[in-house]
Amino acid sequence: MSRVLIIESSARQQDSVSRQLTQTFISQWKAAHPADEISVRDLAINPVPHLDANLLGGWMKPVEQRNEVENASLERSNQLTDELLAADVLVMAAPMYNFAIPSTLKAWLDHVLRAGVTFKYTPTGPQGLLADKRAFVLTARGGIHAGGSTDHQEPYLRQVMGFIGIHDVTFIHAEGMNLGGDFQEKGLNQANAKLSQVA
For residue 177, is pLDDT > 90? no
Residue 181's pLDDT band (boundaries 50, 70, 90)? confident
Q: What is the total count of domains within the chain?
A: 1
Q: Quick check: is 18 in a domain?
A: yes
Three-class SS state of 88 = coil
End-to-end CA distance of the chain: 14
Residues ≥6 apart with Cβ < 8 Å to 149: none
Residue 29 lies in a domain: yes
103 labeled binding residue? no
pTM of the model as a whole: 0.94
To the question of whether residue 39 is assigned a binding role by annotation, the answer is no
Residue 73 lies in a domain: no
The percent of residues above 70 in pLDDT, for the chain, comes to 100
Higher pLDDT, 199 or 169: 169
Q: Is residue 66 part of a domain?
A: no
> Does the residue 63 lie in any domain?
no
17 is in an annotated binding site: yes
The CATH number that applies at residue 11 is 3.40.50.360
In a domain, 61, yes or no: no
Residue 185 has pLDDT above 90, yes or no: no
- Across all residues in the chain, what is the average pLDDT? 95
Residue 156 annotated as lining a ligand binding site? no
For 191, list phi and psi in degrees, rounded to 5: -65, -45
Q: Assign 198 a pLDDT band (cuts: 50, 70, 90).
A: confident
- How confident is the model at residue 14, as a pLDDT? 87
What average pLDDT score do residues 182-189 get?
A: 87
Q: Which residues pair with 174 in a beta bridge?
A: 140
86 within domain boundaries:
yes
Q: What is the mean pLDDT of residues 93-110?
A: 97
Quick check: 199 pLDDT over 80? no
Does the annotation place 96 within a ligand binding site?
Answer: yes
Cβ partners under 8 Å of residue 106, min gap 6: none
Local confidence band at 183 (pLDDT 50, 70, 90 cut-offs): confident
Q: Answer yes or no: are the C-beta atoms of 94 and 138 closer than 8 Å.
A: yes
Domain residue limits at 146: 1-48+79-194
Encode pLDDT of 38-80 as tens digits: 999 999 999 999 999 999 999 999 999 999 999 999 999 999 9
The predicted pLDDT at position 110 comes to 97
Phi-psi region of 116 (alpha: psi -120 to 50; beta: other; left: phi over 0): left
Is residue 71 domain-resident? no
10 annotated as belonging to a binding site for a ligand: yes
Q: If you average pLDDT over residues 77-84, what whole number do you get?
A: 98
Residue 196, marked binder: no
- pLDDT value at 93 more than 80: yes
